[in-house]
């Protein structure tokens, strides 16, 4: 029998095995200690099962709010002429008025301004507030990546988003590819001029760069980086700048930060305080001299002064769309209205519904739908966020009913598996798989398989202001 410095080799092997077991036991004990003491300031521990439920309810809440907001989309954009004065809270439940493109006909979704639901036998259809987010999740999942490249974004857009020339959809007898303003221009630049993001949003190439588009399509990146806005902003940087620059990009990043912070909020606080805490941190991203920051501050100050939300909305219209204060000088860039698809006025309207809804999903969606302009966008953004925060049971309890979990991405996009039919559980599972990769590759965290949790290194809540 051979010896090593007087010890038998067998004893040495036993000693190594014991050390290995000790290391494994210590690691398991450390993890259990973190689970027993979640107040540990160095990490945040998040249940994957609970997060799956939150992602499910994000898609559910977003679809409820999206389709409800579509009833009033572009019904009211201000002014004394058609379509007339803005809606107020008293209009909820009353007859829907025609939109600016409605040709005198109210929404086909509902005769009255009310919630739009799909019961358990129905299927939610995609819309521009859900379909590109769905596409980005699919691209991250199928490419097994955490950061999409310019080419991956371009290839995804051209594979899954139709042009007017090849779309199978029609509206009023005309081709319809469900793209507008900056999204449409970015798609044209990719398809016809070979440009890649971020050049597709450069002001020299895309005059629509200050429009609302990125605010519809990128919030979900916040959920892919739970409790880590810094990572969420990194992941969303290029997708946002596929279509947006400056204020439009900063407003989109505000939403991304809000979505990421939903995982680290103090749930012992009332919902309205949770919302305020998240919003105040996300506000740090907006440059103080930007009109987005000034819009936020204006709405917040009026909310703190207990002004009615309708009065604040009306003041926003006068201050920005009419008087064009604080450098907000969006001029007519489309055939319908003077800047009503712009990022700024819709961002301001969304802050109205966020603050005055005070974390109540029903009230928030109602105010968003009644506030005017592109009303389905803020409704979908906050419906998705609040759905995530209260979970599936919270959404069902709020509305006192159950809903369909089926989703048809092929209502607006194409070339997805299963002829485009998906469900929220599968969509949530894909989200978890992406986050598994993000936690390890981007955060330097761990996946604790035994306890089905993520262990995420925490940072402080200081957000670096945007500079571009």
Q: CB 148: neighbour CB atoms within 10 A? A: 23
Task: Give the per-residue pLDDT at 337.
Answer: 73
What is the rounded average pLDDT for all residues in the chain? 90
How far is the C-alpha of 367 from the C-alpha of 369, rounded, in Å?
5
For range 26-47, the mean pLDDT: 62
- For 32, 78, 87, 361, 367, the CA distances from 113, given in Å and listed in that order, are 51, 18, 10, 16, 11
Residue of higher predicted confidence among 11 and 248: 248
49-100+116-457 sits in which CATH class? mainly alpha
Secondary structure class of 78 (helix, strand, coil): coil
Q: Which residue has the tokens 């209009």?
A: 91
pLDDT for res 464? 83
The pLDDT, as a whole number, for residue 385 is 98
Show the tokens assigned to 238: 């290029």
Work out the average pLDDT over 29-35. Answer: 48
Rounded average pLDDT over 68-81 = 86
| Cα(42)–Cα(39) distance, integer angstroms | 9
Instruction: State mean pLDDT over 52-56.
Output: 98
Cα-flanking dihedrals φ and ψ of residue 393, to 5°?
A: -65, -35
* H or E element in which residue 395 lies: helix 376-399
> Taking 90 as the threshold, does the pLDDT of residue 18 lie above it?
no
Checking if the pLDDT of 239 tops 50, the result is yes
Which pLDDT does position 459 carry in this prediction? Answer: 84
Which pLDDT band holds residue 78 (cuts at 50, 70, 90)? Answer: confident
β strands within 263-317, DSSP E = none
* 291-319 mean pLDDT: 97
Give mean pLDDT, residues 360-380: 97
Residue whose entry in the numeric block shows the structure tokens 């604790």: 448
Q: What is the model's pLDDT at position 3? A: 38
For residue 108, the model assigns a pLDDT of: 83
Lowest-confidence region among 56-60, 341-345, 395-399: 341-345
pLDDT tens for each residue of 151-194: 999 999 999 999 999 999 998 889 999 999 999 999 999 999 99
- The DSSP 8-state label assigned to residue 92 in this structure reads T
Note the pLDDT of residue 17. 47
Residue-wise pLDDT for 277-299, tens only, equals: 999 999 999 999 999 999 999 99
The pLDDT of residue 361 is above 90:
yes
The pLDDT value recorded for residue 25 is 56
What one-character-per-residue DSSP string does 190-215 give?
HHHH---TTGGG-TTT-TTTTBSHHH
């Amino acid at each position: 029998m051979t010896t090593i410095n007087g010890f038998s080799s067998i004893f040495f092997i036993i000693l190594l095995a014991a050390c290995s077991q000790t290391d494994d036991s210590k690691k398991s004990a450390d993890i259990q200690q973190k689970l027993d003491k979640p107040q540990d300031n160095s990490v945040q521990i998040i249940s994957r099962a609970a997060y799956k439920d939150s992602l499910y309810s994000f898609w559910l809440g977003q679809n409820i709010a999206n389709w409800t907001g579509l009833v009033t989309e572009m019904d009211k954009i201000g002014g004394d002429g058609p379509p007339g004065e803005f809606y107020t809270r008293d209009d909820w439940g009353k007859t829907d008025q025609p939109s600016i493109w409605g040709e005198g006909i109210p929404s086909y979704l509902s005769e009255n301004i009310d919630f739009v639901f799909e019961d358990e036998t129905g299927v939610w259809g995609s819309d521009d507030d859900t379909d590109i987010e769905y596409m980005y999740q699919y691209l991250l999942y199928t490419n097994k990546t955490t950061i999409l490249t310019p080419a991956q974004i371009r290839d995804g857009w051209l594979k899954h988003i139709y042009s007017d020339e090849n779309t199978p959809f029609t509206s009023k007898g005309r081709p319809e590819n469900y793209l507008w303003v900056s999204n449409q221009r970015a798609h044209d630049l990719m398809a016809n001029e070979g440009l890649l993001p971020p050049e597709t949003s450069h002001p020299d190439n895309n005059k629509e760069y200050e429009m609302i588009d990125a605010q519809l399509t990128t919030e979900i990146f916040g959920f892919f980086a739970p409790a880590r806005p810094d990572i969420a902003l990194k992941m969303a940087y290029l997708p946002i700048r596929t279509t947006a620059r400056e204020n439009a990009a900063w407003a989109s990043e505000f939403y991304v930060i809000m979505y990421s912070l939903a995982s680290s909020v103090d749930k012992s606080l009332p919902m309205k305080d949770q919302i305020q805490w998240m919003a105040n941190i996300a506000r740090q991203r907006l440059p103080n001299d930007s009109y987005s920051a000034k819009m936020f501050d204006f709405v917040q100050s009026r909310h703190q002064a207990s002004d009615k939300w309708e009065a604040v909305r009306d003041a926003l219209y006068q201050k920005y769309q009419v008087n064009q204060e604080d450098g907000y000088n969006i001029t007519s860039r489309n055939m319908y209205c003077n800047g009503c698809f712009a990022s700024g006025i819709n961002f301001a309207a969304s802050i109205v519904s966020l603050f005055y809804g005070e974390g109540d999903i029903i009230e928030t969606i109602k105010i968003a739908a009644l506030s005017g302009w592109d009303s389905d966008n803020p409704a979908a953004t906050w419906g998705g966020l609040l759905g995530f925060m209260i979970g599936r049971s919270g959404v069902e309890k709020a509305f006192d009913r159950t809903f369909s979990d089926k989703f048809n991405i092929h209502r607006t996009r194409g070339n997805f598996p299963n002829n485009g039919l998906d469900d929220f559980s599968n969509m949530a599972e894909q989200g978890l798989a992406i986050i598994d990769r993000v936690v390890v590759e981007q955060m330097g965290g761990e996946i604790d398989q035994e306890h089905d949790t993520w262990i995420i290194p925490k940072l402080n809540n200081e957000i670096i202001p945007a500079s571009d």
